[in-house]
Amino acid sequence: MHIPDGFLSGEAAALGGVVAATGLAVCVRRAGAEGRERDLPIAGLAGAFFLVGDAPMFPITVGTQGHLLGGTLAVALLGPWVGAITIAVVCAVQALALGDGGVTALGLNIVDLALVPAFVGYPLLLALRRLLPTTVSGLATACGLAAAVDVLLAAGIFVAMFALGAVVPIDLRALAASTLGAYAVIAVIEGVITALIVRALLGVRPDLVRVAEPLRRRRQARALAPRGEVAR
């Protein structure tokens, strides 16, 4: 879902750059305010994982490719701010070093792939976390559902970008059908993969899952309850 150079107008690319820069500035400021330096090594490992995981791509139609996104998994593990920054760095490396997405369209790609999960997907994930049971299965399900919705939302925004800013002749109906159809399948795959990864991490290293804080508190309360009863 990387937009190449030359398909969208200069105005659209400039607007995307401004929105991306503003959104990332907010993420950097909020991440700094949280002071979670211990997340940085994890962010580096996550960035490498997403760079490799997003690498397999297949053409859908003119101007678009299919691949896993990983934005929801990033914000689930690292929180919305560091997660968005991590995916933005991955987008930059893909554009500058791997040729995945145009350099002039980098801002638009960051908005769609990094900022949407942070500013839309993460609140959705928190809402699902409140609705579902505070268990490993409940949290993994919430992450999987949020990931699937994020993929579909990103695909819809991608098509909207072309509808509003395309400068080359493109059959928007065919683009929408092929992109949304392909990413409906990818949404299911990404949702399942995200849920499985979160569930596995919760079993061995729940401290690596930022969104699992309520589950960790519940486990700690259960662990301390017998001691309190003994003390009484």
Q: Which two tokens stand for residue 198?
A: 């979160």
Residue 49 has pLDDT above 60, yes or no: yes
- Report the C-alpha gap between 58 and 61 in whole angstroms: 9
Cβ atoms 128, 145 nearer than 8 A: yes
What is the tens place of the pLDDT at every residue in 166-185?
Answer: 887 778 888 888 888 888 98
Which residues are registered as beta bridge partners of 64?
61
Torsion, Cα of 156, 74, 194, 201 (10° steps) = -170
Alpha-carbon Rg for the chain, nearest whole angstrom, is 19
Predicted confidence at residue 212, as pLDDT, reads: 86
Phi-psi region at 170: left, alpha or beta (left = phi > 0; alpha = psi -120 to 50): beta
- Report the C-alpha gap between 168 and 187 in whole angstroms: 28
Q: Which two tokens stand for residue 80?
A: 């919305």
Predicted confidence at residue 226, as pLDDT, reads: 61
Within a 10 A sphere around the Cβ of 123, how many other Cβ atoms? 13
- Angle 122-131/71-78 helices, nearest 10 degrees? 70
Q: Which two tokens stand for residue 206?
A: 């729940």
Residue 129 has pLDDT above 60, yes or no: yes
The one-letter amino acid at 78: L
Q: Which two tokens stand for residue 40?
A: 């940085």
Predicted confidence at residue 230, as pLDDT, reads: 42
Predicted confidence at residue 64, as pLDDT, reads: 52
CB-based burial of residue 26 (10 Å sphere; 0-12 exposed, 13-18 middle, 19+ buried)?
middle
